Amino acid sequence: WEDISGARDFDDLPVKARDYVLRLEELAGAHVSCIGVGPGRDQTIVRRDVLASRV
């Protein structure tokens, strides 16, 4: 496994991890808005701010 705990942006993830997320979105027909890369609060990649889009 590659350590991704320092990733703070979607583009910081390894190519295979990004491809996996994109494939999940395709299969689910829904967007992945947050990706956890560790146990800390600051270890979350926010791809789409779902709260801001509903205002």
The predicted-structure confidence for 45-54, as pLDDT tens digits, reads as follows 999 776 676 5
- Residue 46 parent element (H or E): strand 44-46
5 falls within a domain: no
Specify the pTM.
0.81
24 falls within a domain: yes
2 falls within a domain: no
1 falls within a domain: no
> How many domains is the chain built from?
1
The tokens of 49 are what?
């701010």
User: What per-residue string of b and e applies to 36-53 under the rule 16 or more CB within 10 Å gives b?
Assistant: ebeeeeeeebeeeeeeee
pLDDT higher than threshold 70 for residue 44: yes
3 falls within a domain: no
pLDDT band for position 1 (50/70/90)? confident
18 falls within a domain: yes
Residue 21's domain comprises 10-53
pLDDT higher than threshold 60 for residue 55: no
